[in-house]
Amino acid sequence: MDVSLTIRSAAPEDEPGVIALWRACDLVASYNDPGADFRFARAGACSDVLVGVDDTDRICGSVMVGHDGHRGWLYYVASAPDVRGGGVGRQMVEAAEGWLRERGVVKAQLLVRETNTKVVSFYERLGFEVAPRVIMGKWLGRTG
């Protein structure tokens, strides 16, 4: 049976709980500052961090969602290790899809690290397809 979740936008005071979840899910890469990522996404007009809280008010799911004026993007999709298989991941992804749809975005995309390809089947269960694209990136540095 699915874990019963309340999904809402993260509040500033959720930052420690969200970062703890990201760490428990091994989502914090050495080159990312999770606190800066959390605050930057929350502050954006076209982005947010959604959290899923259970009936004890524990944050057990997250997704960072945003759009670039064209496509929607999902990051930090996380389900706490002890609730995996209970529908938390699905509910978080579907909430992000709803967030994007409400803003007129017709396609959601996400990146999977080469070292994490086991999650590809999870996304395929939710209707995502592997897209044959070459992703190019360049670090610009953070100001402020």
Ligand X SMILES: CC(C)(COP(=O)(O)OP(=O)(O)OC[C@H]1O[C@@H](n2cnc3c(N)ncnc32)[C@H](O)[C@@H]1OP(=O)(O)O)[C@@H](O)C(=O)NCCC(=O)NCCS
24 Cβ partners below 8 Å, 6+ apart? 80, 81
Residue with structure tokens 């259970």?
A: 54
- Region of 40-48, 65-73, 76-84, 131-139 interacting with ligand X (CB under 6 A): 76-84
The interface mask with ligand X, positions 117-136, x = CB under 6 A, is -xx-xx--x-----------
23 binds ligand X (CB under 6 A): no
Q: What Rg value do the Cα atoms of the chain yield, rounded?
A: 15
Distance CA 20, CA 54 (A): 16
132 Cβ partners below 8 Å, 6+ apart? none
Q: Rounded to the nearest whole angstrom, what is the least distance from the CB of residue 68 to ligand X in the complex?
A: 18
Q: Could you say which of 79, 95, 105, 108 contacts ligand X (CB under 6 A)?
A: 79
Nearer to ligand X, 24 or 144 (CB): 24
Instruction: Output the CA torsion sign for 123, 125, 127, 133.
Output: positive
Q: Could you say which of 116, 117, 127, 130 contacts ligand X (CB under 6 A)?
A: 116
The interface mask with ligand X, positions 34-73, x = CB under 6 A, is ----------------------------------------
Distance CA 110, CA 34 (A): 18
| Contacts with ligand X, residue ranges (CB under 6 A) | 25, 27, 77-79, 84-90, 110, 112, 116, 118-119, 121-122, 125
